[in-house]
Amino acid sequence: MLKANYHTHTKLCNHAEGMPKDYVKKAIELGFVELGMSDHGPVPHEFMSEKEYINNWIQRNMTLEEYYTIYLPALDEAIAKYGDKIKIYKGLEVEYIPGHEEYYLGLKANLDYLNFGVHYFLSEGIEKNSYDDVDYKSIYDYCDIAVNGMKTGIYNCLVHPDLFYFGYKNEEGKQVFDKHCVEVTHRICQTASELGIYLEVNCNGLANSRKYGLKNEWLYPRKEFWEIAKTYPNLKIIIGCDAHLINNLYSEDTKAIEKFCQELGLNISPFMKI
């Protein structure tokens, strides 16, 4: 059973519940040894077009002001109160938008680690969201952002690395894990393995797959991706709850992911070295 989780959100992102102390209390109850808080970090308006910002971002992240005046103090409060019962790490989940490395480093200056989620990228100059329909050209753009982001050295873990498959459609408009997906998987695993960056098997992919009407199929975590990942002996892999609800810290979905990893024979790191 899980003893740690490093992917935990709060109500500050506007699509999750609870504050750090609520997750910390639950984690202690569950017997966790470590808990990393990693809510969606602030995204400056000017990092993208007005349209993209308003459609996909304005309501899904904390603001910079909330980061400093609410999030960081709430983390310190949780550590002061429960730090003797559980190791609490301070983190955020952020994008990589090239040219803004200093900004991410500035956020990280107050934290222990950064989770890297690729939700936003450009493809042929067009802004894409990882939940949009993407074709074989776009997934290479997702891949470039993932690989180049990891190379900056700013991030500790690439969360849901297989998210590129979520809206993937091949030339015939079908969703199949084809040679392009295989190539993207290799590039991501190769880079993560060389740089010692963790890749995360994401538990929230199950709920997200159900949201899109799939009962028994998971869009992510994707078996084909992790079968390839398994062939990289030095690759560090962890399970992440991506908890948006307090009960997500250990749920039926978490159990299903633990079983998935066990059946695949993935070598899961119980803790993230931070």
**Radius of gyration, CA atoms only, the chain:** 18
* Least gap, CB of 202 to Zn ion (angstroms): 8
Angle at 75 between CA 32 and CA 147, to 5 degrees: 80
The Cβ-side half-sphere exposure at 226, using a 13 Å CA radius, reads: 26
Indicate the residue whose CB is closest to Zn ion.
Answer: 242
With respect to Zn ion, which residue has the nearer C-beta, 123 or 248?
Answer: 248
**Least distance CB 117 / Zn ion (angstroms):** 6
Q: Which of 248, 202, 195 is nearest to 225 (CA)?
A: 202
Show the site string, 141-160: x = touches Zn ion by CB under 5 A, - = not.
Answer: --------------------
How many C-beta atoms lie closer than 10 Å to residue 202's C-beta? 24
| Footprint of Zn ion on 68-87 (CB under 5 A) | none
The DSSP letter of residue 215 is: S
CB-count burial class (<10 Å; 0-12, 13-18, 19+) for 73:
exposed
| Distance from C-alpha of 93 to C-alpha of 42, rounded to nearest angstrom | 9
Kindly give the pairing relationship between strand 120-123 and strand 126-129.
antiparallel
C-beta of 179: minimal distance to Zn ion in Å?
29
Contact flag: residue 95 with Zn ion (CB under 5 A): no
Binding segment for Zn ion among 28-36, 88-96, 215-223, 225-233 (CB under 5 A)? 88-96
Give me the least distance between CB of 233 and Zn ion, in Å please: 28
- C-alpha–C-alpha distance, residues 93 and 158, integer Å: 9
Look up residue 94 and give its amino acid.
V
Nearer to Zn ion, 13 or 180 (CB): 13
Segment contacting Zn ion by CB under 5 A, of 92-100, 130-138, 141-149, 170-178 = 92-100
Nearest distance from C-beta of residue 120 to Zn ion, angstroms: 13
> What is the rounded CA–CA span in Å between residue 147 and residue 180?
15
Q: Are 202 and 159 in contact (CB under 8 A)?
A: yes
What is the smallest separation between the CB atom of 80 and Zn ion, expressed in angstroms? 25
Contact mark string toward Zn ion, 227..246, x via CB under 5 A: ---------------x----
DSSP run (H or E) holding 73:
helix 72-82
Q: Hey, how many other C-beta atoms are within 10 angstroms of the C-beta on 153?
A: 11
Using CB under 5 A as the binding criterion, the count of chain residues that bind Zn ion stands at: 2
Nearer to Zn ion, 207 or 256 (CB): 207
Q: Are 5 and 32 in contact (CB under 8 A)?
A: yes
Among 27, 62, 71, 93, binds Zn ion (CB under 5 A): 93
* Residue 6 C-beta: closest distance to Zn ion, Å: 10
Task: Rank residues 242 and 253 by Cβ distance to Zn ion and give the closer one.
Answer: 242
Of 108 and 180, the one with the shorter C-beta distance to Zn ion is 108
Residues that bind Zn ion (CB under 5 A): 93, 242
